[in-house]
Structure 1
């Protein structure tokens, strides 16, 4: 699955427990009629993927949905969901040229002012 949106917040890397479990959270705001603010967590070595991104950047994040079951001390079963990111890409603003390279400005071209009527029929074949 993928989520696209603008980065609203990037948290610091947090370390938990004796084994050094690492987690870092990013909040992305979707661009739709009713924007959603989605907290996506990156864990372990994936936390470093967020180092090259900043608040305000448009990104596409590949995610997995995770669900856990937990029984509290009173014996009640609780369920928790999380969104876990595993890849992040910068989304460049799309151009309207449909993949064509940009056209240089008119000033980049030299004027063709020395054309003669006789020169137009100078084909070698």
Structure 2
């Protein structure tokens, strides 16, 4: 799955245990600009570095997997939780209008000088 948005927060890497680390990224997703959604993505283990070059305000496209797991508490009640695990983040270039350049001589239309009167010179 992929989604485009603007970087809202880039968290530091957290060392959860000796063998597990994670890092969070919050994206402002504005499919409808009146109702911005803040979506939390997670990178784990060696993928935590994919958030290194991101800055708040960057426009990005995030490729991710949706994961869901059950958890049963000590009373036997099972709840479910989801996580969005990012595996690639691509910065998007700002869309800039094409620059207008001055026309070159090759762009000018040909002129018909066969009917020019040689006696009408201004000097």
For the aligned pair, the TM-score class normalised by the smaller chain equals 0.7 to 0.9
**2:2 is the counterpart of 1:2:** yes
Residue 93 of structure 1 and its aligned partner are, at CA, apart by: 1.8
Q: Which residue of the partner structure matches residue 48 of structure 1?
A: 49
| Structure 1 segment 79-118 matched on structure 2, within 5 A | 79-95=80-96, 105-106=101-102
Alpha-carbon distance in 1 for matches of 2:11, 2:77: 32
Instruction: Give the 3-state SS of the residue equivalent to 2:52 in structure 1.
Output: helix
Post-superposition offset of 1:51 = 0.7
Q: Which consecutive aligned stretches of 4+ in structure 1 deviate over 6 angstroms post-superposition? A: none
d(CA) in 1 for partners of 2:30, 2:94: 13
Q: Deviations over 1:53-96 (max 9, x none)?
A: 10100000001111011110011111111111000001112345
SS at match of 1:49: helix
Structure 1: stretches of 5+ with no match in the other structure: 119-125
What is the Cα deviation at residue 18 of structure 1?
2.8
**TM-score with structure 2 setting the length:** 0.77
* TM-score, length basis structure 1: 0.76
Aligned length: 109
The residue that corresponds to 2:28 in the other structure is 29
Greater Rg over alpha carbons, structure: 2
Please report the RMSD computed on the Cα atoms of aligned residues, expressed in angstroms: 2.4
